[in-house]
Chains A and B, each alone.
Chain A
Amino acid sequence: MIKSKNLEGTQAVTANRLRDGAVVFLTATGTWSRHINDSAIARTADEAAALLAIGTQAAADRVVVEPYLFEVTAEGGAIQPVSTRERIRAFGPSVEEQRPLETAS
């Protein structure tokens, strides 16, 4: 699990859904979306802690597994992860373009 405490700047919360393992992102309404662009964005440490608290509760409620904060950029309406790892999680493996990400519920 990625340590979130040292992250700075704009952040979002991601996790895997318990039932199917799908990569999901926490939205502003407290739901989880398959699309990173739906993510709620935290711009301060307090906002980040509040978002992560929602994620942690969702893990306790058995909706998701291992929620954590990760760094993003949010410019021009597009939310982009900063690290390669999170880009791969959000957009799928870099090697298999013919196997697109499922856009399930």
Chain B
Amino acid sequence: MYAYDEYDQTFVEERVAQFRDQVRRRLSGELSETEFKPLRLTNGLYLQLHAYMLRVAIPYGTLSTRQLRRLGHIARKYDRGFGHFTTRQNIQFHWIKLEQTPDILAELAEVQMHGLQTSGNCIRNVTADQWAGVAADEIEDPRIWSEIIRQWSTLHPEFTFLPRKFKIAVTGSPNDRAAVKVHDIGLRMHKNDKGEIGFEVMVGGGLGRTPIIAKTIRDFLPKQHLLSYLEAILRVYNQFGRRDNIYKARIKILVHELGAARMAELVEAEWQQIKDGPLALSPDTVARIAAHFAPPAYADSPTFTPEFDALRLENAEFRRWLKANVAAHKRPGHAIVTVSLKPEGGVPGDMTADQMDAVADLADLHGMGEVRVTHSQNLVLPHIRRADLPALWRRLSELNLATSNINLVTDIIACPGLDYCALANARSIPVAQRITEKFNDLARVHDIGELKIKISGCINACGHHHVGHIGILGVDKNGEEFYQVTLGGSEELSASLGAIIGPALPADRIVDAVGNLVDTYVALRQDGERFLDTYRRVGIAPFKERLYAPA
């Protein structure tokens, strides 16, 4: 894991002192709300429905157990005993007091964390594959490059007042787990014909009210040019991105209006001017960062033990958990375990302070002290000894964190929605809760197979509904909550946007509608087909016909 050096630590402490002064100036009247708002936003502090909300960055989703415990401590001391993991590898606390925020940020700084650039029209917290460094299919560890980007983007003087927010995602594997094609910049590591590793650079993806899949503007960027190329893209965007209309200000609209070819020309022309300048990455720099991400000292561990074998034979729930929540690790005798934050009836992504402490203990005991946060609002223990899986499973079950549903129908992504968010038009969380209650038979959930439901409470699409196999968007119709359903979205490298199935449904019909869509799929599926495969084969018509059939 990356560990701050004296410079990083000094910086984050200076940042806390600066914000403390800004809060003081706001409370004393020196700063108006209009002037203060962008300053608090760049520290992750929003004003939401019930209180201030603090969004803490978890850069590329990597957490130490010390950091996780500190998040639990913040939840307990300054909030209501829980936190909410978001779809961008951040955590949010919903009930924060402005006057306590400097103290909270100081406590976070002690464990090398902050809320920097989790909001505002700047380069946001960079996201990456949650299996970085351990995935069996990985070409290169994306955390090295994510950390390099994190440092370069931290309080970038030129790019802190962009036309709109700016999100970058990195994947180092052919199987994209970072949704790179729906980011402002998506970076995919791959090998060229000569066997060198570099980046495919994609620009202008995004969800929100105008969902667009990113376009590739460079097939292969040598690694040492990463920062100069990003700076060139940002400079083009800062100068030419639209500022006349907030809904047209994202880079995706610029790319759309210019065309990807013209965008590529502008970026390349700018890049030629700066590529061999001070942003060129020296091998020493890369080596210094990469050293932080060296594999931990794995001990030899057997792939199977008698206890493991016995439990697997006798316990169907353990078998289901192994199948859904445990993935192959690149080191023999080890496994990647996903901790489900999607229990039946639960709030997707919510975790209590006690659960945070307990998972930190488990990660210390069984998993090299490391935890990851996923964009689908779960946690990952990336280095678990296989021999420890039975003990880990038992303890996670006691904590209600072992629901065997990863990537299945109840592993629902949901934004906070109208229960918390000032922008929302409809609630998201209760819809997710009712769906998980409807599908509470895990044997059936496993039979249904991979199915990603994503729920957003408004058009801003924090719940990524456009790329849900089943997407649900909350809308307001004359003061009533309605839900629009889309089918066939996907965030993988074969990314697609969902198609609207028909008129929006009232709140009391949405859960049954999901049941109806699942039943239609089960009736139509052929051998081994996932929901998405069946949908792509048969199209939307059979689903629509059954969903809107007269009762």
Residues of A within 8 A of B481 (CB): 84
- 24 A-B pairs with C-beta separation under 8 A: A16-B47, A18-B27, A19-B27, A19-B98, A20-B52, A21-B52, A22-B51, A23-B49, A59-B33, A62-B26, A65-B33, A66-B33, A66-B47, A84-B426, A84-B427, A88-B49, A89-B49, A89-B50, A93-B50, A95-B427, A95-B429, A95-B430, A95-B433, A96-B347
Residues of A within 8 A of B96 (CB): 21
Whether A85 is near chain B, meaning CB under 8 Å from some CB there, is yes
Question: Considering only CB atoms, which chain A residue lies closest to B37 in the complex?
Answer: A65
Contact bitstring A71-97, B, C-beta under 8 A = 1, else 0: 000000000001111001100111110
Verify B479–A20 contact, CB threshold 8 A. no
> Complex formed: what's the CA distance from A19 to B96 in Å?
10
Besides A66-B47, A85-B418, 12 new A-B residue pairs in contact (Cβ under 8 A), listed by A number: A19-B99, A20-B97, A21-B48, A21-B98, A22-B50, A62-B27, A66-B33, A83-B479, A88-B419, A94-B419, A94-B430, A96-B347
Number of chain A interface residues as a range: 20 to 34
Whether B80 is near chain A, meaning CB under 8 Å from some CB there, is yes
Verify B479–A65 contact, CB threshold 8 A. no
Verify A21–B418 contact, CB threshold 8 A. no
Whether A99 is near chain B, meaning CB under 8 Å from some CB there, is yes
Whether B159 is near chain A, meaning CB under 8 Å from some CB there, is no
Number of chain B interface residues as a range: 20 to 34
Residues of A within 8 A of B420 (CB): 93
Interface residues of A (CB under 8 A from B): 16, 18-23, 59, 62, 65-66, 82-85, 88-89, 92-96, 99
State the total of A-B contacts with C-beta under 8 angstroms.
70
Verify B51–A16 contact, CB threshold 8 A. yes
Whether B278 is near chain A, meaning CB under 8 Å from some CB there, is no
Within 8 A of A (CB), among B22-73: 26-27, 29, 33, 47-52
Verify A21–B80 contact, CB threshold 8 A. no
Residues of B within 8 A of A89 (CB): 49-50
Chain A's nearest CB lies how many Å from the CB of B33?
6
> Complex formed: what's the CA distance from A101 to B18 in Å?
32
| Residue among B48, B419, B420, B429 with most chain A CB within 10 A | B419
Within 8 A of A (CB), among B392-449: 418-420, 424, 426-427, 429-430, 433
Contact for B347 among A19, A23, A95, CB less than 8 A: A95
Verify B51–A20 contact, CB threshold 8 A. yes
